[in-house]
Each structure stands twice: as structure tokens, then as C-alpha cells.
Amino acid sequence: MDLDTIAAISTPMGEGAIAIVRMSGPDSVQIADKLFKSINQKKLSEVATHTIHYGHIVDPATQEVVEEVMISVMRGPRTFTKEDVIEINCHGGIASVNRLLQLTIIHGARIAEPGEFTKRAFLNGRIDLSQAEGVMDLIRAKTDRAMNVALGQMEGRLSKLVRHLRQEILETLAQVEVNIDYPEYDDVEEMTQSLMLEKSIYIRDEINKLLQTSQQGKILREGLATVIVGRPNVGKSSLLNSLVQENKAIVTDIAGTTRDVIEEYVNVRGVPLRLLDTAGIRETEDIVEQIGVEKSRKVLKEADLILLVLNSAEELTIEDRNIFKAAEGMDFIVIVNKTDLPQQIDLEQVKQLAGNRKIITTSLLEDKGIDLLEEAIASLFFEGTIESSDMTYVSNSRHISLLHQALGSISEAIEGAENGTPIDIVQIDLTRTWELLGEIIGDSVHESLIDQLFSQFCLGK
């Protein structure tokens, strides 16, 4: 594939020890040669691949020394993009790194689009689409578990399994064609139906195994949308601060202090939480607080997990009971806070309202009960699962959707085979399953989808 040469800053903008300007494409080495002066006067086009060289970047127009650099030369196809790649390591100042990038553009490169380096790795056949998505998952990983899932996807763990299932389907379809084309035996139709049924059941079971990991995988990738709800002044903001271990929310004794939804990410025992501290839910005449209460009700409906906070020093109110009703049918943990004060709440009533949900007692003022809460959150979503280092997790929403569609197609094939549907009709469902699995790894996917996926990447990756 004949592509031009692209360049981008591959490190975060701002002051730092070093920054990297990366180029990829057929003219990378030649462009670098125009700008680089090594201490031994050696041209980069003459050096061995995968070597690094010290020298200076000099503006050819003025012969001004722009930067002191180390340049890495990597020739394709043994590079990330399978093209010639140059990485210019310079000092991490904003002005110097921008000047370097501008010089590469002036002398023949163009600014890379978001994710274009990884897109080229995909287009040049170095990685498939699911591995490319694993690169972005690794960049965005917020916990060790999420990082390990992303690394497994980058290494091709999901790809290998999907390719294996597609090959099984392909071999089955080929065998069916042979049986149809050479019907020398009376029992050929029965043999063909039996073969398709056996293979289809195997494919369905393997897809089901993948989907069983999808809930955990998606949580690890995207974070658990966790909403902290309760009446005003029960300790919601104190709970957010305790979990984040930082004073992110204002805490006062004045009811209605929190007027808007506050969002923070936190790692709880390997489970990434997207914490949402909401305005206290109550009837109020304050117009601004009313808006905050309405936002609280809205995010409550979209939550994966609810942390329902009660005040141990007060009796249950109608507002408390209404919050329990709003959380019906959802995953929630009850937190009875302020146990450092004389108890007024009836815990038996709380247990009745909570049903089989966990109830944790805390004194956030004295930092008591947070460990029990973190343990309850982790066990709620990971209890009873076997976490294995070689387990293939599915974490990407696109992959999960395609697997569900593939499961539907293969289930229809099984139903058809069991009911004696003509072989050519069953083949259609089996072929559709093969195509859907191919979309996961990019073997059968529209160009517009590829562009959309890579546009979500950061510049320089």
C-alpha cells in the first residue's frame, strides 16, 4: 500500500524531560536526513536499522541549531506500522517540540490524523482490528486488571479464538458442499445435517463462553457507573472524598450544598468506578437545587451500581423510602453512615427495604467502614468468578454486540438443523455467523467504520 509520510507529537503536550516527534512513511529517513546533523557527520540513510544516534536538528533554511536530539531509525517492515519510522527524542518544552514538528511538515511530511499510526499498522497487516482497539484500551486503562485485559487483546488472544471459530465454520461449510456435490450414498443428507448440528453447537458454546466474560470485561474497560444517592446531608460528598482519598466535593452541615453531579474515577480493589456524587434528593423550593435533584434522578436510572446512603442518627423518612423505591430492580449497596452519633435509625426496617442487598455501616468522619464497602463492591461484580491470566475477556462494546448477533445467527442454524430445514438455508445462517465474527477482527468491515474507530484515538498513536 503506497502511503505518504506522516508526523505527529507522540508524547503529551507540556513541560517534561523529553518529548518525541514520530514520523512514519516512505520518506521518513530522507526528511530526517535533511534536518539532522550527527557528531560523526554520518547520514541516517547509511546507518543500520533499529539504532539510535546523537546530534542536532538544524533548520536547513537558516542553518540555525534548533535542538539537541537522539534519533531512532527503524526501517520497515520490522516496525509498528511496517513502514520506515523515525522517532526524534528532544527536550520536553512546548516551543521546541512544536518547532521540530513544523520542520518535518515543511520538508515533506504531513500532520497525522488521530490514530493514524495504529491505522497504518492495521492496513499494512501487522495487527487486526481487535488488536488495534486493544492499543487504545491499554492507553485508557485505569486499573491493573483493565491493563491486563488490554494487553491480552493486543497480543491477539481474542483474535486467535475468533479466527479459530471462523476456520471451524469454513471447514464445515466446505464439507457440506462436498457432501452435496457428491451424493453417492443414501445417508449423505443425514450425515450432513449431523455434521452441521455438531459444529454449530460447538460454535454457539464457544461464543457463549466469550459473552460470559463480557460483563466483567466491559466494567474493566469502561468503569462501573456508580451513583451515590441519599437525602441531603447524609454524607454523600464525604463518601466520594473517602473513596477518591481527596477533597473533591465540598462538605458542610448545610443541607443542599451539592447542587450538581460531581464525577470522579477511582480504583476499588481492581474495579474501576466512575463515581457520581449527586445532589440530595428531596422536595425543595430552591430553583437551582431543584435542577440538581432532577439530574440526580436521571443519573440514578442510568447507573450500574447505586450507593444508597442513610443517616444512622435520624429515623427513616418518606424521602429515604422513595429512594429505595427508585432503586428497585437495580444493584445497590446500602450505607448507614454517621455511626459515631447516637443511633436513631431502625436497622430492621432498613433490612426489609434492602432485601438481599448488602448493608454497610460507616462513620466517614472517623474513617470507619470504607474497607468493608470496598470489599462489598468488588465481591458484588467479581465474586465466584475464576480470574485466570490466560482467560480471554471481551471488553469492547462493539465486540460484545457482534458476538450477540453471531450467537443469534448460530442459534438459528442449530434450530434449522434440528428441525430438518434444507441444508442450503442452514448454510446462510452459518455463513452470516462467519461474517459477523470477521467484523470483530476487521476481515469483513466497512471502511467508514474503520475511519470512525481510529478517529477516537489520540494524536501520535
Give 321-339 pLDDT, tens digit per residue: 888 888 888 888 999 999 9
Domain with CATH 3.30.1360.120 in the chain: 6-112
Predicted local distance difference test score (pLDDT) of residue 109: 94
Is residue 52 scored above 90 in pLDDT? yes
**Which of 173-182, 236-245, 249-258, 277-286 is the least confident region?**
249-258
Considering only residues 55 and 285, tell me which one the structure prediction assigns the higher pLDDT: 55
Mean pLDDT of 344-359: 90
Tell me: the pLDDT tens digits for 249-274?
Answer: 333 343 334 434 567 778 777 777 87
The mean pLDDT value for 221-243 works out to 81
- Looking at per-residue pLDDT, the higher value among 1 and 376 belongs to 376
pLDDT at residue 215 in the model: 67
CATH 1.20.120.430 domain extents, the chain: 132-213+393-454
Confidence of residue 361 (pLDDT cuts 50, 70, 90): very high
- Compute the distance between CA of residue 32 and CA of residue 401 in angstroms, rounded to an integer: 44
CB atoms within 10 A of CB 439: 21
Among 306, 434, 421, 307, CA closest to 369: 307
The stretch 68-89 carries a mean pLDDT of 94
Give, as one character, the DSSP assignment of residue 44: G
Closest CA to 249 of 312, 336, 309, 321: 309
> Roughly how many angstroms between the first and final C-alpha of the chain, as a whole number?
20
Q: What's the whole-number mean pLDDT along residues 126-133?
A: 83
Note the pLDDT of residue 232. 80
What pLDDT is recorded for position 234? 86
User: By mean pLDDT, which of 50-64, 101-115, 187-201, 274-288 is the weakest?
Assistant: 274-288
Pick the CATH number of 132-213+393-454 from 3.30.300.130, 1.20.120.430, 1.10.10.10, 3.30.960.10: 1.20.120.430
pLDDT for position 265? 76
Distance CA 323, CA 310 (A): 10
SS3 257: coil
Higher pLDDT, 254 or 381: 381
Q: Give the H or E element holding residue 399.
A: helix 397-418
The H or E element containing residue 238 is: helix 236-244
More confident residue, 315 or 396: 315
At residue 102 the predicted structure's pLDDT band, cuts being 50, 70 and 90, is very high
Extract the C-alpha cell encoding 117. 499510526
CA distance 116 to 455: 8
**How many other C-beta atoms can be found within 10 angstroms of the C-beta atom of residue 145?**
22
Nearest to 262 by CA among 252, 276, 272: 276
Tens of pLDDT along 271-299?
Answer: 778 787 665 444 444 454 455 556 656 66
Across residues 186-195, what is the average pLDDT? 63
pLDDT of residue 182: 58
- The top-level CATH class assigned to 223-382 is alpha beta
Q: What is the mean pLDDT of residues 376-393?
A: 60
pLDDT at 91 over 80: yes
Question: For all residues of the chain together, what is the average pLDDT?
Answer: 80
In the DSSP assignment, the letter for residue 49 is S
**Nearest one of 221, 219, 252 to 238, comparing CA atoms:** 252
| CB within 8 Å of 182: residues ≥ 6 apart | 188
Quick check: 179 pLDDT over 70? Answer: no
pTM over 0.75: no
Q: Where in the chain is the domain with CATH 3.40.50.300?
A: 223-382
Distance CA 92, CA 111 (A): 19
Give the ranges where 285-396 is alpha helix by DSSP (H): 287-301, 318-326, 347-354, 370-382
Which of 176, 185, 183 lies closest to 416 in space, CA to CA? 176
124-128, 229-233, 305-309, 431-435: least confident range: 229-233
* Domain at 6-112, CATH homologous superfamily: Probable tRNA modification gtpase trme; domain 1 (3.30.1360.120)
